[in-house]
Amino acid sequence: MVLAAQHEALAAEVDRMHTTLLDVDWHAPVRTCGDWDVLELVTHLGMIHRWAARLVRERATERIDRATMDFDLPADVSGKRDGDGYAEWFAAGGAQLVDAVRAADPDEPMWAWGADQHVRFWTRRQLHETAVHHADLRLAVGLTPPLTVDAPVAADGIDELLDNLPAAGYFVPGVAELRGNGETIHLHATGTPEGEWIIRLDPDGFRYEHGHDKSTVAVRALIGDLLLLIMNRRSLDADAASFEVFGDRALLDHWLAKATL
């Protein structure tokens, strides 16, 4: 995706999630995010947006500890964590992030936890972080479809995950187990020309390319479902009607268990 499209998609996804938040049960469990409820999900993402915005504004050369930041959380006057003020607080943090990345030179060097140590890393990462957490929210409150982004954004989300996983080992230990002896996983998005991926597991790690080839295991699905599957928001068992799997299911299960951000 070109950067301008990423900016627009990020702004749109923040707006869509804000709209979803205008009528939610703030205590609904978010089953795709451990033991979080909606309020905890929104608090997490609102903090991440403000953190990333600060990183970009300051062109940080090293990680800023989020524990040192004041996130200006809405006052809890009820003592009941009822979510009052959190929808607007979320929207304000999203606007800070969008403004920061739009104002910055995308090619300017800065700290990032991924391999791409430039401002543009944060635009792309926060676009997909927001899209997937919006899917978490929609699943939690029973809305469909859970993923609202269009096909090019979803396809780039798969690319972005595969690009960044090798650098995520320090906080996702399972990445070290994404290796093998040449086995391949074919991800095939149906209904769009955007996406086919071949992931090859080598003794020293994995690599991927776009294309179609006979593989150890293949999974076919609509592009949004495919993205949510590899982000561990969909299940091959619970959502079996959405996926076709051919070949070594155990290899695909291993990948899904180890390759989540």
The CATH number of the domain holding residue 234 is 3.30.1050.10
Quote the pLDDT of residue 2. Answer: 84
Residues 16 and 125 in one domain: yes
Whether residue 95 lies inside any domain: the answer is: yes
Using 50, 70 and 90 to split pLDDT, how confident is the model at 76?
Answer: low
- 131 and 196, same domain (yes or no): no
125 & 11 share domain = yes
Mean confidence (pLDDT) of the chain = 94
Residue 154 lies in a domain: no
166 and 92 co-located in one domain: no
**Whether the bond into 145 is cis, omega within 30 of 0:** yes
Judge if 46 and 171 occupy the same domain: no
- Is residue 61 in some structural domain? yes
Separation of alpha carbons 138 and 187, rounded Å:
24
Q: What pLDDT digit, counting tens, does each position of 198-238 carry? A: 999 999 999 999 999 999 999 999 999 999 999 999 999 99
Q: Does 224 reside within a domain?
A: yes
Instruction: Domain count for the chain, please give it.
Output: 2
> What amino acid is encoded at 221 in this protein?
A
Q: Which domain holds residue 203?
A: 159-258
pLDDT of residue 261: 78
Q: Is residue 57 part of a domain?
A: yes
Distance CA 195, CA 158 (A): 9
**Distance separating the N- and C-terminal Cα atoms of the chain:** 21
Domain match, 135 and 164 both: no
Q: Quote the percentage of the chain above a pLDDT of 70.
A: 98
> Do the domain assignments include residue 212?
yes
Which of 149, 173, 195 is the last residue before a domain boundary?
Answer: 149
52 and 101 together in one domain: yes
